[in-house]
Amino acid sequence: MSKSKLILPFIFLITLGSTKHVIAQNSTKKSINVLFKKNKIIEVAFLSINPQKKQQLAEEYFKKVMPIAKEYGMKPLAKIKIDYAYSEFVKPQILGFFEWESEQQHQAFLKDPRFQKIKPIRDDALDFLRLGYFKIEKNTTVKFDSGKLIEIFALWLNPEEAHRMQTYFKNVKPLIAGANTKYDVQFPIKLKPLDYGYDTYKPQSFGIAIWKSKDSNSQFFESSEYKKIKHDKEAALGRLDVWQGHIIIN
pLDDT of residue 177: 73
pLDDT of residue 178: 67
CATH number for the domain spanning 147: value is 3.30.70.100
**What average pLDDT does the segment 142-164 reach?**
96
Question: Which backbone phi and psi does 71 adopt, to 5 degrees?
Answer: -60, -25
pLDDT of residue 196: 79
pLDDT of residue 171: 93
User: Edge-to-edge strand order for the sheet containing 140-145?
Assistant: 22-25, 30-36, 140-145
Query: What is the span of the domain harbouring residue 73?
Result: 3-247
12: helix, strand or coil: helix
Continuous H helices in 131-206: 164-176
In this predicted model, what pLDDT tens digit does every residue of 63-120 receive, in sequence order? 999 999 999 999 999 999 999 999 999 999 999 999 999 999 999 999 999 999 999 9
In this predicted model, what pLDDT tens digit does every residue of 189-232 receive, in sequence order? 999 999 877 778 999 999 999 999 999 999 999 999 999 999 99
Name the average pLDDT for the chain. Answer: 88
230: left (phi over 0), alpha (psi -120 to 50) or beta: alpha
Q: What domain count does the chain have?
A: 1
- Entry field: residues in the chain: 250
Q: How far apart are CA 238 and CA 236, in angstroms?
A: 7
Q: How far apart are CA 181 and CA 54, in angstroms?
A: 43
For residue 237, the tally of other CB atoms under 10 A from its CB is 19
State the pTM of this model. Answer: 0.87
Instruction: Tell whether the torsion through CA atoms of 237, 211, 92 and 24 is positive or negative.
Output: positive
Q: How far apart are CA 77 and CA 93, in angstroms?
A: 17
> b/e for 45-72, b at 16 or more Cβ within 10 A?
bbbbbeeebeebbeebbeebbeeebeeb
